[in-house]
């Protein structure tokens, strides 16, 4: 799923977020473990002021685990609760309920002092498109989830998923735009497939990925595609085309196809677990 954001979409997304935020105690923000900063919305801290915050490093299965742990430490250091998860396979999901309680401890304590007991924590999932919001909500709610708020006699408004007696989740996630104005960020978002490939031509984008891989994960492409060490990025795409028998008109190397294969392999985790940005950068 690709999104094209225009100023009108952004204004609408912001307005919806501002409305929903009034109803909740906790913002569960999903980021992509391969690009934890580049996949954050630039305005989320402003929008989420005064609310408890939990950052989930989603798609942790696709990123280097040692760096995942560094990111968790980084976010905790900044005052957020943070955990790594794999929403697709359910990894880390079991611990979320207790992490939610922990993230809202101050609020629960405030309630208790005011004599409000056992009021469920209300949470909302937010993040940029494709970061895994729906997958996460499904994994967390499971099949047996009960929706609340649509009882007879109650005006149909927001739908809440009752996770247990102490947590309710807004059933529609907040979709927010990424920081695409920054070119380097845009490139990383394009690598993971979050914004349209047309930002750059497929070959250009793949060539940038080859350069990144050469610098940060040397030898990985050579091993994966059984190719010799290439002189430059475009030569690498030609070698991949040769190795994968990507030909046009029977004999010419189809580097466009090789580029698509490379991007697809990267996005699907078939080049191994790769992180595109580390905390110190």
Please report how close the Cβ of residue 205 comes to ligand G4P at its closest, in angstroms: 18
List residues forming the annotated binding site for GTP: 58-61, 86-87, 130-135, 174
3-state secondary structure of 26: strand
| Binding-site ranges for ligand G4P (CB under 6 A) | 1, 58-59, 61-62, 86-88, 127, 129-135
- Give 125 or 207: the residue with its C-beta nearer to ligand G4P: 125
Smallest distance, ligand G4P to C-beta of residue 159, A: 16
Supply the minimum distance, in Å, between the C-beta of residue 193 and ligand G4P.
8
Specify the long-range contacts of residues 234-242, CB closer than 8 Å, at least 24 apart.
Answer: 234/203, 234/207, 236/207, 236/210, 237/203, 237/206, 237/207, 237/210, 237/262
**CB closer to ligand G4P out of 58 and 108:** 58
| Cβ contacts of 240 within 8 Å, gap of 6 or more | 221, 225, 227, 246, 258, 261, 262
Of the candidates 9, 100, 84, 5, the one whose C-alpha atom is nearest the C-alpha of residue 51 is 100
- Residue closer to ligand G4P by CB (options 131, 227) is 131
State in angstroms the smallest separation of the CB of 34 from ligand G4P: 10
Nearer to ligand G4P, 54 or 207 (CB): 54
Nearest residue relative to ligand G4P (C-beta): 132
CB nearer to ligand G4P: pick between 34 and 53: 34
For the CB of residue 85, give the shortest distance to ligand G4P in the complex, in Å.
6
Minimum CB distance to ligand G4P smaller for 134 or for 166 = 134
Q: Which residues of 180-216 are buried (b: 16+ CB within 10 A; e: fewer)?
A: beeeebbbbbbbbbbbebeeeebbbbbbbbbebbbee
Q: Which of 123, 54, 62, 70 is nearest to 87 (CA)?
A: 62
Q: Give the list of residues 6+ apart from residue 268 with CB closer than 8 angstroms, or none.
A: none
3-state SS class at 10: helix
First to last CA, the chain: 29
Q: Residues comprising the binding site?
A: 58-61, 86-87, 130-135, 174
Residue 242 CB, shortest distance to ligand G4P, in Å, is 28
């Amino acid at each position: 799923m690709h999104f094209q954001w225009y100023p009108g979409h952004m204004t609408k997304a912001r307005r919806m977020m501002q409305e929903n935020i009034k109803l909740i105690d906790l913002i569960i923000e999903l980021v992509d473990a391969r690009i934890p900063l580049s996949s954050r919305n630039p305005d989320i801290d402003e929008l989420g002021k005064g609310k408890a915050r939990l950052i989930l490093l989603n798609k942790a299965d696709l990123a280097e685990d040692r760096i995942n742990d560094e990111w968790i430490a980084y976010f905790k250091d900044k005052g957020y609760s943070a955990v790594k998860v794999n929403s697709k396979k359910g990894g880390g999901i079991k611990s979320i309920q207790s992490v939610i309680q922990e993230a809202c401890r101050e609020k629960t304590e405030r309630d208790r002092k005011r004599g409000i007991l056992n009021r469920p924590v209300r949470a909302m999932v937010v993040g940029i498109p494709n970061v895994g919001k729906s997958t996460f909500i499904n994994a967390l709610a499971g099949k047996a989830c009960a929706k609340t708020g649509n009882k007879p006699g109650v005006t149909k408004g927001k739908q809440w998923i009752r996770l247990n007696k102490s947590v309710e989740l807004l059933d529609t996630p907040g979709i927010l735009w990424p920081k695409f104005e920054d070119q380097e960020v845009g490139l990383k978002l394009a690598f993971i497939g979050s914004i349209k490939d047309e930002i750059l031509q497929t070959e250009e984008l793949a060539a940038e990925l080859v350069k990144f891989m050469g610098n940060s994960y040397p030898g990985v492409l050579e091993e994966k595609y059984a190719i010799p060490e290439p002189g430059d990025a475009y030569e690498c795409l030609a070698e991949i085309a040769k190795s994968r028998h990507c030909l046009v008109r029977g004999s010419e190397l189809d580097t466009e196809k090789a580029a698509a294969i490379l991007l697809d392999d990267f996005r699907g985790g078939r080049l191994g677990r790769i992180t595109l940005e580390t905390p110190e950068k």
